[in-house]
Amino acid sequence: MLVVGGGMAGLCAAVSALEQGAEVLLIEKGTRFGGSMALSNGTIWSFADAAVLKQHVPEGDPTLQEMLVDRLPEAFDWLAQQGAPLEPEFAFLQYGRARRTAPVQMTAALLERIASLGGEALTGVAMQDLRVRDGVITGAVAFDAEGPVEIEAGAVVIATGGFQGNPELVARYITPLADTLYLRSNPWSTGDGLLAAQAAGAATTPLLQAFYGHAMCAPPARFNRFEFQAMSHKYGQMAVALNMSGQRFADESAGTGEELLNSRIALQPGCRAVYVFDALVGERPLEGGPLARVVADRARQAGALVLQTDSLEDLARQMGQWGLPPSVALRTMQTYNEALASQQDAEALLPPRQTHRYPLAAPPFTAVLLQASITFTCGGLFTDMDMRVLRRSSSISSLALVTADVSELQTQPIAGLYAAGCDVGGFNGRGYVGGLSQALVTGRIAGVEAGRHTR
């Protein structure tokens, strides 16, 4: 059995397959194992209740979401048994549960398990194509430093971490401004799994344009990949976001976190926006992230463009240096403040502001110039509950459900092909159900099922 990708999902799939008695080779394209998981702060979380998940992330596939919630406790136990460090469970983001791990130690523990169970894991080997005979997966062709490598396998698990690192695919599905979107991820997740599976006949989920990320300090700020977390402005839901024309362009408060606002910034000129907040919001705690004041201080230290003034007039005037028209920016902030003075006007505000209705009232006022980023793509391969990749056979649009007979809509798996982690579409819609939990649960399932298949 071949596992493609040595991040969270691939490592879990490899160990799970070995536990089934399969013979396993894992190949990793990068120079190290761990993928984006190694850059994360290791909070493995999801919703505690499937109904609440559905309410907050309505566009995701409810069956997948339910499975995630049901299977996560067992997956935590399994992960702990592998020797991965796991803190006790705690409540997270009002509606979730989480356990925190140390990504580097977890990667080492899973690699040790692969070796002790007789598996093999290699870095510097990138899968390019799947081999298919009579519609059945028979292996893959990969490239290492020496050239092409043919790998025979009775089953392949695709766990390449999404397509965020591929500007052509990002421009096709997500934003025409792909070249200016920050990559907040490992650099190797360039859609190889998606492209190879599509070439083998795989179907994709709807919402290929959906992605997860956070706005980060725009240049000239300088930071490295280990500072992605520190440079992420997750307080955005409490701020006022202006585009480079000085106007609001989205309900800043919408969604499960700042990721939805970030995805709207990705469609604004230059993928840029300015977050503005006052002294009260600067000190207001928001679960899941540090204080806005602290994040802005870190940004300043990294060389980001940050302004602080005692009046909105001064703030708007100085934003002129960044290219925002001062009079428009000032009018936008004043209109926002005036609207929040009465419930009726607040309801009429455009774009709306559903929650976190905080005016820009208490000086000093802070403005930070930001750029949208992409951490992982949420659309991907269409699978069943066993993580078998389904063949492109009939339309999965809801129109077909209206016009076609159900028997005409049956989807068939591609024999021997499985997916896990960010390569599986359908969990998130335009919301966020937890990246590491999705990789853990789907990696476990894909590994067990593919391992059984090869035996």
Ligand X SMILES: Cc1cc2nc3c(=O)[nH]c(=O)nc-3n(C[C@H](O)[C@H](O)[C@H](O)COP(=O)(O)OP(=O)(O)OC[C@H]3O[C@@H](n4cnc5c(N)ncnc54)[C@H](O)[C@@H]3O)c2cc1C
Binding site for ligand X (CB under 6 A): 4-10, 27-30, 35-37, 39-41, 43-45, 126-127, 159-161, 184-186, 188-189, 192, 228-229, 375-376, 421-422, 434-437, 439
Q: Which of 117, 126, 169 is nearest to 149 (CA)?
A: 126
> Which residue number, 185 or 366, has a Cβ lying nearer to ligand X?
185
Residue 234 CB, nearest distance to ligand X (Å)? 11
**Are 302 and 223 within 8 A, CB to CB?**
yes
Per DSSP bridges, beta strands 211-212 and 216-217 are unpaired
Tokens of 248: 């609001």
Q: Which is nearer to ligand X, 12 or 242 (CB)?
A: 12
Q: How far is the CB of 275 from ligand X (least distance, A)?
A: 19
- In this chain, which residue has its C-beta nearest to ligand X? 7
Report in angstroms how near the CB of residue 395 gets to ligand X at its nearest: 27
Instruction: Please state the φ and ψ torsions of residue 287, each to the nearest 5 degrees.
Output: -60, 140
- Rounded to 5 degrees, φ, ψ at 194 are -60, -50
- Measured from the CB atom, the residue of 165 and 451 that comes closer to ligand X is 165
Cα dihedral angle (221, 226, 231, 233), rounded to 10 degrees?
A: 150
Specify the residue, 214 or 293, whose C-beta has the smaller distance to ligand X.
214
Minimum CB–partner distance for residue 257 and ligand X (Å) = 11
Closer residue to ligand X (CB): 74 or 338: 74
Residue 9 or 324 with smaller CB distance to ligand X = 9
Q: Are 319 and 307 in contact (CB under 8 A)?
A: yes
Task: Compute the least distance from the CB of residue 328 to ligand X, in Å.
Answer: 34
Q: How far is the CB of 121 from ligand X (least distance, A)?
A: 11
- 50 or 328: CB nearest ligand X: 50
CA–CA separation, 413 and 388 (whole Å)? 6
Residue 8 C-beta: closest distance to ligand X, Å: 4
